[in-house]
Amino acid sequence: MLNKYLDVQPEVAQAVAEGRPVVALESTIISHGMPYPQNVETALQVEQIVRDNGAVPATIAILGGRLKAGLSKEEITYLGKTGQAVTKASRRDLPVLVSQGKDGATTVTTTMMIAHMAGINIFATGGIGGVHRGAETTMDISADLEELANTPVMVVCAGAKSILDLGLTLEYLETHGVPVIGYGTKELPAFYTYKSGFKVDYELDTPEELAAAFKVQRELGLKGGILVTNPIPREYAMDYNVINKAIDDAIASSLAEGIHGKETTPYLLAKVKELTGGDSLDSNIRLVFNNAALAAKTAAAYCRL
């Protein structure tokens, strides 16, 4: 039985009912990830890439207090124009946003939740949240990691954002039993770069292998998801030293300005974009395109099993 607060777009509902491939997409990247109109253009391109690779796209958001699995072009445009005035909605925000009939752009956490409610198994995003640098004193750990431990959705990403403590992020996922798979790599990608110096649990090389692992996880009754880390294409990757210096400078700036909590990631990403002259935004868009294509191919392979 579907949740009474959930609206599933008819095309998405039909595909799920017929066992056809569907890929969930988040909406924070639209409202908080980049400026208008580039955000809307990118979101629509990502949906088209999902279609071109054999799946139905389901962009997810909260609109007027309704959990939406699948948005119209008009709804995507509304989110893009409204931008950061839309609440960045994690798990803790849902009761109030829904009860008050408000809008919310979904993070990795809430996209996973709503996708699972709608019967969607696979989700493509840019990068996941994780353990922030200094978390041993701040306890700043993204809710994305807890959701991966508890919600049976495969998340295809370009690794964890390199503004985070990648070693502690991997340790947290290991503790919670979340498999971290490198697509064609043994090394955890670090969002803007295809290397980090940290090893993933397994390397798999085809969408069919990813789909098979996810199917077995479901059949074993394991409660969490699988994290697929798909490196940014090398031609769009940023220089490792350049991006790390920009991140270090952005973190120092955030500490000086007293930025904390859920404002941290948007602040740091904006600062990194500023420090890199916009190159980081271009890389961000390309890695999302790459993840959408892999997620669609994996969803198609999963439906063939």
Q: What tokens does 88 get?
A: 């960045």
Catalytic residue flag (residue 147): no
Residue in 195, 196, 145 with CA at minimum distance from that of residue 171: 145
What is the Cα–Cα distance from 73 to 58, expressed in whole angstroms?
A: 12
Task: For 272-291, give the secondary structure using H, E and C.
Answer: HHHHCCCHHHHHHHHHHHHH
Among 68, 75, 88, 161, the active-site one is 161
In a 13 Å sphere around the CA of 169, the CA atoms on its Cβ side amount to: 29
Among 26, 47, 75, 147, the active-site one is 26
DSSP state string for 125-186: -S-B--BBTTHHHH--B-HHHHHHHHS--EEEESBB-TTB-HHHHHHHHHHTT--EEEES-S
Q: What tokens does 166 get?
A: 């990648």
What is the Cα–Cα distance from 215 to 299, expressed in whole angstroms?
A: 11
Catalytic residue flag (residue 161): yes
Q: Which residues are catalytic?
A: 26, 161
